Amino acid sequence: MQGDVRGGGVVGTFFHAPRQGELEVLQDTLICVDEDGVISGVLPPSSHDHERVLNGLGDRVLRLPEGRYGMPGLVDLHVHAPQYPQLGLALDAPLEVWLQKYTFPLEAKYQELDFARQRYSVLVEDLLAGGTTTALYFATQDRAATELLADLCIAAGQRALIGKVAMDDPVACPPGYRDRSAEAAVADTRAVIDYIRGHKDNSEGRVLPVVTPRFVPSCTDAALAGLGQLAQECGCHVQTHCSESDWAHRYALERFGISDAAALDRFGLLGRRSVLAHANFLSDADMDLLVERGAAVAHCPLSNIYFANSVFPLRQALDKQLHVGLGTDISGGPSASMLQACQTSVQVSRMLEEGVDPALPAERRGRGDGRIDLVTAFHLATAGGGIALDLPIGVLAPGYRFDAVVIDTTARDGGIRLFGQTDPMAVFEKIVYGANRSNVAAVWVDGNCRVNRQ
């Protein structure tokens, strides 16, 4: 099994979840990929074109061996690229302490570009090897290191959306790690946008720039207003943190007298391409506002256990048709795996529904509803991420980019043991709960092969 499939195809059994709660199994199906890496046909064996197209493509078709299954690449909607060295560490303090004590000092070290290059290279390689074909990255405050991350993603062929982190408020940000002024924060953000858009090796636009105010507490009003204006002017994606913890949520209410989400909207930062990380404490009205704007939430269930003081009400958000995808929040969450994010989103949704305090009677212990199923979690980690980003990814259908992963359920070092199980739903569950890096046999982004383990 090898190679790029642009101008060719892959035949085998695939899973995808274009809609919440619905797993589609594409059994023995031929997926055709055009010269640009876009899916041009999805032909089940019953299709009268299947044999003809298969024969026509000849050796440009790759056949998935027995025991291997294809699925859309995973979309991680929230990654702090510079925090990767801290993965699994420093999980003992509340958000506002964690930032000052551990995280800002680590991120500041990326001003040293050799330090940055070594760590960023490992991150991008690891995420691709784990099946993350698209990542929405917070880089650091530093412009040069952010541009370096873009260089590395472009070279590695990962789909990446990358923001220079704007953080200019001297009250909240340490002197060695902040923008000199609101004007500098906006000017450097603009420079990174121009750099990524004008990059000579990025003509296909696989890497995109993102306007990235860290969160309201890090930014002055002038920076937030300037970045809002810039986002509108450039038509860029926007990312930030919103109402993540009790402290962060209260902070906005005290500073503006309105919620975090409403304040972001006032600064022009809420639009169709905005992604708000966490957002645990959104009110009903905040959710309605996000829906109206077409903005999305990056739900980071594992990180929320450590830093958010609560479980994001995912079921409620989905019932309101709010766009939601999943994120690892490296390193707020101590795992880089998007399959782990799927698992945790299901687990915490159960806890929200049923409650956790055994001292309370069952009928008062939880919310009474709130659970999501594994297929919905997988939908959010793939198609939902694509919708949040307004990009044609996460679904195996004509017109979507061929960003895909092959899982080898037979890998000796892997985490899956099927014991002869062939029921597609059981195989799917075993994959999402068990697959590890050794199970990831191949990864394509835009039809280009980026991981290939025989």
Residues that bind Fe ion (CB under 5 A): 277, 329
For ligand GUN, the nearest residue by Cβ is 332
State the binding partner of 307 from Fe ion, ligand GUN, none, CB within 5 to 8 A by kind.
ligand GUN
Q: According to the binding rule CB under 6 A, does residue 76 interact with ligand GUN?
A: no
**Contact of 147 with 192, CB cutoff 8 Å:** yes
Choose, by CB under 6 A, the member of 329, 403, 408, 446 that binds ligand GUN: 329
Least distance to ligand GUN from the beta carbon of 302, Å? 11
Q: How far is the CB of 104 from ligand GUN (least distance, A)?
A: 9
Is the CB of 169 or the CB of 244 nearer to Fe ion? 244
103 binding partner (options Fe ion, ligand GUN, none; Cβ < 5 to 8 Å by kind): ligand GUN
The entry of ligand GUN, Fe ion, none that residue 75 binds, CB within 5 to 8 Å by partner kind = none
Site for ligand GUN, residues 91 to 110, rule: CB under 6 A: 95, 99, 103
The distance of closest approach from Cβ of residue 327 to ligand GUN in the complex, given in angstroms and rounded to an integer, is 10
Mask for 223-242, x = binds ligand GUN (CB under 6 A): ------------------x-
Nearer to ligand GUN, 106 or 231 (CB): 106
Is residue 214 a contact point for ligand GUN (CB under 6 A)? yes
CB of 264 to ligand GUN, least distance (A): 13
Considering CB distances under 5 to 8 angstroms, the limit depending on partner class, which of ligand GUN, Fe ion, none binds residue 214?
A: ligand GUN
> What's the length of the chain?
454
Instruction: Work out what residue 244 binds among Fe ion, ligand GUN, none; the CB cut-off runs from 5 to 8 Å by kind.
Output: ligand GUN
Q: Is 244 in the site for ligand GUN (CB under 6 A)?
A: yes
Beta pairing, strands 68-72 & 404-408: antiparallel
SS3 of the chain: CCCCCCCCEEEEEEEEEEECCEEEEEEEEEEEECCCCEEEEEECCCCCCHHHHHHHHHHHEEECCCCEEEEECEEEEEEEHHHHHHCCCCCCCCHHHHHHHHHHHHHHHHHCHHHHHHHHHHHHHHHHHCCEEEEEEECCCCHHHHHHHHHHHHHHCCEEEEECEECCCCCCCCCCCCCCCHHHHHHHHHHHHHHHHCCCCCCCCCEEEEEEECCHHHCCHHHHHHHHHHHHHHCCEEEEEECCCHHHHHHHHHHHCCCHHHHHHHCCCCCCCEEEEECCCCCHHHHHHHHHHCCEEEECHHHHHHHCCCCCCHHHHHHCCCEEEECCCECCCCCCCHHHHHHHHHHHHHHHHHCCCCCCCHHHHCCCCCCCCHHHHHHHHHHHHHHHHCCCCCCCCCCCECCEEEEECCCCCCCCCCCCCCCHHHHHHHHHHHCCHHHEEEEEECCEEEEECC
Contacting residue, 313, 332, 386, 394, with ligand GUN by CB under 6 A: 332
Query: Closest CB to ligand GUN among 259 and 448?
Result: 259
Would you count residue 400 as binding ligand GUN (CB under 6 A)?
no
Which residues have a Cβ under 8 Å from the Cβ of 92 and sit 6 or more positions away? none
CB of 66 to Fe ion, least distance (A): 41
Beta carbon nearer to ligand GUN, 102 or 378: 102
Residue 277 or 451 with smaller CB distance to Fe ion:
277
Determine if 215 is a binding residue for ligand GUN (CB under 6 A): yes
Can residue 80 be called a binding residue for ligand GUN (CB under 6 A)? Answer: yes
Compute the distance between CA of residue 134 and CA of residue 310 in angstroms, rounded to an integer: 27
Nearest residue to 426 (alpha-carbon basis) of 70, 73, 23, 65: 23
Which of 69, 110, 281, 307 is close enough to bind ligand GUN by CB under 6 A?
Answer: 307
Residue with Cβ nearer Fe ion (165 or 277): 277
Q: Which is nearer to Fe ion, 107 or 403 (CB)?
A: 107
Task: Examine residue 136 and tell whether it contacts ligand GUN (CB under 6 A).
Answer: no
Binding site residues, ligand GUN, CB under 6 A: 80, 95, 99, 103, 214-215, 241, 244, 303, 307, 329, 332
